């Protein structure tokens, strides 16, 4: 029994010692490898920095000629620059990546079994702003991996091709959709070319989709969609969607938004919508909204009166004059935030 115990102890000691030696060897190997990679990447990094400093006008041939092992070592730095650069420098660095076959490799990796590889490939194609990759990236909008779908949405936004708008809107109806804010930003990056698609999607059966499209229309300044958004404000069955319509009508700053918003200040509109309309009229910046807002400074619902007062403050001298004519807590609170010279001028 004692002999068996001794053998067991010896085996355990040997295992521990072997593990310790393995850890030490692994650390030494990693240190050597990192030093080698740092040495390989040093030259390409200097070339990349010089290239960016020249705004991409010179040095692209030198980057294309870098040996593959050295380029691989410097690739994280190159990818970081690619995601940050804009304008001529970005276009020049994209040309370098294309000459090195990065786009072909990334398009192939979009079909990889590994979700990490698919996501990395999608991000690279987005940073390259490669319009040819849009159909393949749209396919990833239904990928089984949530993170891959998120990266695909971000990449499509970076590319900014409005042809992807319908596919992205359809993906919002998925059982595990991407975050609404991310989808909104990506759709907005597609610009005015996506306005028709976004306006049409305001009839989508899913309230979340309608709200995202309203926010995207507001971000791109789609003044042509004012009448369509006004109908949503008046008739949509979901209160949160009507509130989103009010907020984005104010954001657009279009004259046609004045009447729909003032109409939403009064009952039978729900109090939450009335408050949103009061706030949106301040964002609208139209002095013509002053009488409608002043009429609600004594509203029985605290939030509505508060928003009306704050919107009047933001409308400048006409609104400030209306606040001075009324003596209540909401008006005093709003006037306290106004510069003294503006109070005197009104």
Tens digits of residue pLDDT in 74-129: 788 888 888 888 888 888 889 888 988 999 999 999 999 999 999 999 999 999 99
Of 321, 246, 319, the residue nearest 278 (C-alpha): 246
**Claim to verify: residue 306 and residue 203 sit in the same structural domain:** no
d(CA 333, CA 309): 8
Q: What does the block give as tokens for 248?
A: 């984005």
Backbone angles phi, psi at 130, to 5 degrees: -90, 105
**Claim to verify: residue 243 and residue 339 sit in the same structural domain:** no
**Claim to verify: residue 176 and residue 220 sit in the same structural domain:** yes
Residue 301 pLDDT: 95
DSSP string, 195-232: HHHHHHGGG-S-HHHHHHHHHHHHHHT-GGGHHHHHHH
Residue 272 pLDDT: 97
d(CA 307, CA 277): 9
Give the model confidence (pLDDT) of 130-165 as tens digits: 999 999 999 999 999 999 999 999 999 999 999 999
pLDDT above 70: residue 36: no
- 344 class by beta-carbon count within 10 Å (0-12 exposed, 13-18 middle, 19+ buried): exposed
For residue 102, give every residue at least 6 positions away whose Cβ sits within 8 Å of its Cβ, in sequence order, or none: 124, 128
Residue 27 pLDDT: 73
Residue 40 pLDDT: 52
Give the model confidence (pLDDT) of 42-82 as tens digits: 666 777 777 777 777 777 787 888 888 877 887 888 888 88
pLDDT mean across residues, the chain = 88
**Claim to verify: residue 299 and residue 260 sit in the same structural domain:** no
**Claim to verify: residue 241 and residue 299 sit in the same structural domain:** no
Task: Tell me the mean pLDDT in the region 273-299.
Answer: 97
Q: Give the CATH number for residue 260.
A: 1.25.10.10
Q: Is residue 254 assigned to a domain?
A: yes
Residue 2 pLDDT: 57
CB contact at 8 A, 320 and 297: no
Q: What does the block give as tokens for 140?
A: 């990833």
Q: Is residue 39 assigned to a domain?
A: no
d(CA 207, CA 190): 22
Residue 9 pLDDT: 74
Q: How many CB atoms lie within 10 A of CB 40?
A: 18
Residue 35 pLDDT: 61
Rg (CA), the chain: 29
Task: Tell me the mean pLDDT in the region 181-193.
Answer: 96
d(CA 321, CA 313): 9
Among the listed ranges 11-20, 106-115, 141-150, 293-302, which one has the minimum average pLDDT value? 11-20
Parent domain of 230: 161-280
């Amino acid at each position: 029994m004692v002999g068996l115990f001794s053998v067991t102890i010896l085996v355990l000691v040997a295992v521990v010692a072997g593990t310790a030696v393995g850890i030490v060897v692994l650390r030494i190997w990693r240190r050597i490898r990192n030093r080698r990679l740092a040495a390989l990447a040093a030259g390409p990094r200097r070339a990349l920095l010089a290239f960016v400093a020249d705004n991409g006008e010179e040095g692209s041939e030198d980057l294309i000629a870098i040996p593959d092992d050295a380029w691989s070592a410097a690739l994280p730095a190159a990818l970081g620059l690619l995601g940050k650069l804009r304008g001529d420098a970005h276009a020049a660095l994209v040309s370098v990546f294309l000459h090195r076959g990065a786009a072909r490799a990334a398009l192939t990796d979009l079909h990889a079994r590994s979700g990490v590889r698919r996501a990395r490939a999608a991000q690279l194609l987005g940073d390259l702003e490669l319009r040819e990759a849009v159909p393949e990236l749209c396919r990833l909008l239904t990928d089984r991996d949530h993170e891959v779908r998120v990266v695909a949405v971000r990449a499509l936004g970076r590319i900014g091709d409005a042809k992807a708008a319908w596919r992205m809107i359809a993906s919002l109806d998925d059982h595990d959709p991407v975050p609404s804010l991310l989808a909104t930003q990506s759709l907005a990056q597609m610009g005015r070319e996506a306005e028709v698609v976004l306006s049409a999607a305001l009839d989508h059966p899913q309230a979340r989709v309608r709200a995202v499209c309203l926010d995207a229309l507001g971000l791109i300044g789609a003044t042509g969609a004012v009448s369509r958004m006004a109908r949503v404000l008046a008739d949509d069955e979901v209160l949160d969607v009507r509130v989103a319509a009010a907020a984005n009508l104010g954001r657009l700053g279009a004259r046609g938004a004045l009447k729909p918003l003032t109409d939403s200040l009064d009952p039978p509109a729900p109090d939450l919508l009335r408050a949103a309309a009061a706030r949106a009229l301040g964002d609208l910046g139209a002095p013509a909204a002053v009488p409608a807002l002043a009429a609600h400074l004594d509203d029985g619902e605290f939030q509505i009166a508060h928003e009306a007062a704050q919107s009047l403050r933001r409308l400048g001298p006409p609104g400030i004059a209306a606040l001075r004519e009324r003596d209540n807590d909401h008006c005093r609170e709003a006037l306290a935030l106004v510069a003294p010279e503006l109070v005197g001028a009104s």
